[in-house]
Amino acid sequence: MAQAIRLAKQGLRTTHPNPRVGCVLVKDGQVIGSGFHKVAGEGHAEVNALANAAADVTGSTAYVTLEPCSHQGKTPPCADALIKAGVACVVFGMQDPNPEVAGRGLAKLRDAGIEVIGPVLETECRALNPGFIKRMEEGLPFVRVKLAMSLDGRTAMESGESQWITGPEARLDVQRLRAQSSAIVTGIGSVIMDDPSMTVRIDAQDQLCKPDQVRQPLRVIMDTALSVPPEAKILYPTNQVCVFFDEEEAEPEHVALLTQKGVALRPLPLGEDGRLDLVEAMGQLADEGINEVLVETGAELAGAFLLAGLVDELVVYMAPKLLGSEARPLLRLPIENMAEAVNLDLVDVRKIGADLKLVYVPNYD
């Protein structure tokens, strides 16, 4: 199963909207085939493992990180393929949370007389697909907020100048985070201040992420009054971008101009706080197959995501710099006393170049 998990990780950046899945076939103590799911619409892990098996798979054991599917999606059911191939035993990592499957794959295998064992290494198998699982279970994507700050918790100078706080290694790490995300979300403030492209740019020399593995994520702008300049870099290419906005506040001429350029404009209701309803926006993205969202934005919108209870993970890159007390704070959170403080659990720390990468999970209880 550990080997199947390693294989699944090879699909980290390409399987969207599908989950990352790996499969290993073992017979007489030998690995006779292995595979992983690479791209939606193409072979699932089990089918790829069966296809490249070096020996007769009859009587073998299949180790799969996710329950084999039982439904006809873009590809035929893997449970049927395993039955037809004469596999004797299936060891699975976790049940498929997709309601189309949800145990029916395992039932199909058992009904065909196959021994079914699992879940095995379930925590590790679930960790492969936080976004797919959350989307299937809660109708929301897994939201990761990336922040870059100085030791004194500042993200930009008072003027807005912010290039660069962290070093090249940390910035490359952010590119990899983008590459594994289905969508990147930013706010109009960041678009106007920095004119970012928000695309994935991976160097051909990168050892961890190969340029041919990169799928460009959807770029999403939260822009209540629809004030994104038509020449903003983030809008191009226009087929991978969408803008959430409030129809009442937008200038009709601007709506027409952006529409004519091919930008997908998405009217959104306002929440109780009079701002775009982030929960509704994330729900809509999940309905469209968005598994993992990376929020790369300023203090205001990042704070709003946190207050809305939408954040699953905070990734903070901390640079060994002091930007001083006039510089901009990490998050805008209207907190007045200690009892209102947002508590976080630190789940990972590592050094990246000269910076620290800190991963936190908000503790909403």
Near Zn ion in 15-54, by CB under 5 A? 44
Which residues in this chain contact ligand AOF in the complex, by CB under 6 A? Answer: 18-19, 21, 37, 40, 44-46, 66, 68-69, 73-75, 78, 96, 98, 101
Residue 45 or 218 having the CB closest to ligand AOF: 45
Residue 15 or 240 having the CB closest to ligand AOF: 15
125 touches Zn ion by CB under 5 A: no
What tokens does 173 get?
């790490």
Closest to 234 (Cα-Cα) out of 197, 192, 189: 197
Helix, strand, or coil here: 167? coil
Catalytic residue among 46, 67, 292, 313: 46
Query: Which partner in ligand AOF, Zn ion, none is near 213 (CB below 5 to 8 A by kind)?
Result: none
Burial 325-356 (b: 16+ CB within 10 A, else e): eebbebbeeeeeeeeeebebeeeeeeebbebb
Query: Which partner in Zn ion, ligand AOF, none is near 13 (CB below 5 to 8 A by kind)?
Result: none
Residue 90 or 258 having the CB closest to Zn ion: 90
Binding site members for substrate? 162, 178, 201, 296
Kindly write down the DSSP assignment for every residue of 35-78, as one continuous string.
EE--STTS--HHHHHHHT-SS--TT-EEEESSPPP-S-SSS--H
Near Zn ion in 50-109, by CB under 5 A? 69, 78
In terms of Cβ atoms closer than 10 Å to its own Cβ (0-12, 13-18, 19+), residue 126 is: middle
Query: Which partner in Zn ion, ligand AOF, none is near 156 (CB below 5 to 8 A by kind)?
Result: none
- CB of 76 vs Zn ion, minimal distance in Å: 8
How many residues in the chain?
Answer: 365
Are 324 and 154 in contact, with CB atoms under 8 Å apart? yes
Binding site members for Zn(2+)? 44, 69, 78
Closest to 318 (Cα-Cα) out of 150, 163, 172, 144: 150
- CB of 288 vs ligand AOF, minimal distance in Å: 14
Residue 69 or 184 having the CB closest to Zn ion: 69
- CB of 54 vs ligand AOF, minimal distance in Å: 20
Query: Active site includes 280?
Result: no
Active site residues: 46
Binding site for Zn ion (CB under 5 A): 44, 69, 78
